[in-house]
């Protein structure tokens, strides 16, 4: 193609066809410019495709991490719910002056401290913040990621866990003083009748149960928001994949 243009140029010059030569030169420059713009367009398209793939991969990883954290929170809610029911029954029994100790109660006493702490997984999120947060091109998604990780997740892992630890540590002193562990998950009171009249034990037990219940009620509300956010991430990922597919089809048309 270059040789052909060169031959045409030489012929026009040799035949002194200056006007035609000028028109030809302008046309040749135009073709070169079009070629450069086309090459730049292809390069930009390729770069955009790379960014899209990176964003899709990042969002997929974030979704996996959010799913894990939400599953952990759900499991904690289930455990706390059973613990609250168990502890309220025990507190009611302990308030009954006529209640008598039975062997089956050792399992209920052993379940008093069954609640768990919420420890989040945030490796993907922290890596994203440290490297290139803007790989996720949606301002709304970036803002919500910060709100959920640095806001809700952080609160659950820090302030709420701190309250649970304090109540647990206060209560566990009374447990060590009043119970004997006969096997894993089974606690037997040293003196059941004395335990029923131990105001300090019942206050610590009640405070602990109230703290777990307050955390549980908060977690139920937060879990709804967190699941809603996970669905929003799923929808955003679906849109990204559709966009990528459409661009791929357009490139072959």
Mean pLDDT taken over the chain: 83
Task: Give the global pTM.
Answer: 0.76
User: Of the spans 39-48, 156-165, 201-210, which averages the highest pLDDT?
Assistant: 201-210
39-53, 134-148, 219-233: least confidently modelled range: 39-53
Q: Average pLDDT in the 76-88 region? A: 94
Q: Specify the higher pLDDT residue, 82 or 39.
A: 82
Q: Average pLDDT in the 175-197 region? A: 92
Cα-trace Rg, the chain: 35
Cβ–Cβ < 8 Å for 226, 148? yes
Question: Which tens digit of pLDDT belongs to each residue from 93-113?
Answer: 999 989 999 999 999 999 999
Q: Average pLDDT in the 30-55 region? A: 62
pLDDT for res 92: 96
Report in angstroms the alpha-carbon separations of 221 from 50, 70, 117, 147, 215: 38, 12, 17, 15, 10
Distance CA 68, CA 79 (A): 17
pLDDT band at 21 (very low <50, low <70, confident <90, very high): very low
Question: Which run of H or E residues covers position 180?
Answer: strand 179-183
Matching residue, tokens 């904690």: 76
pLDDT band at 43 (very low <50, low <70, confident <90, very high): low
Question: Which tens digit of pLDDT belongs to each residue from 220-234?
Answer: 999 999 999 999 999
pLDDT for res 18: 53
10 Å CB burial of residue 128 (0-12, 13-18, 19+) is: buried
Q: Average pLDDT in the 61-89 region? A: 94
Distance CA 198, CA 205 (A): 11
């Amino acid at each position: 193609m270059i040789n052909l243009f060169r031959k045409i140029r030489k012929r026009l010059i040799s035949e002194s066809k200056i006007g035609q030569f000028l028109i030809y030169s302008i046309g040749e420059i135009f073709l070169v410019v079009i070629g450069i713009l086309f090459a730049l367009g292809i390069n930009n398209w390729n770069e955009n495709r790379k960014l899209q793939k990176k964003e899709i991969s990042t969002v997929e990883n974030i979704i996996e991490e959010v799913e894990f954290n939400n599953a952990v929170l759900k499991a904690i809610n289930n455990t706390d719910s059973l613990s609250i029911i168990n502890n309220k029954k025990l507190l009611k029994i302990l308030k009954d002056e006529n209640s008598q100790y039975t062997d089956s109660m050792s399992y209920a006493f052993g379940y008093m401290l069954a609640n768990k702490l919420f420890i989040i997984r945030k490796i993907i999120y922290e890596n994203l913040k440290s490297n290139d947060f803007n790989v996720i091109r949606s301002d709304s998604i970036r803002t919500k990621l910060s709100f959920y990780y640095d806001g809700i997740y952080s609160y659950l892992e820090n302030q709420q866990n701190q309250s649970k630890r304090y109540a647990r540590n206060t209560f566990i002193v009374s447990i060590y003083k009043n119970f004997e562990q006969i096997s894993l998950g089974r606690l037997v009171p040293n003196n059941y009748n004395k335990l029923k009249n131990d105001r300090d034990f019942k206050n610590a037990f009640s405070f602990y149960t109230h703290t777990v219940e307050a955390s549980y009620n908060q977690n139920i509300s937060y879990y709804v928001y967190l699941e809603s956010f996970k669905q929003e991430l799923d929808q955003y990922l679906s849109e990204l994949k559709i966009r990528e597919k459409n661009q791929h089809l357009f490139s072959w048309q």
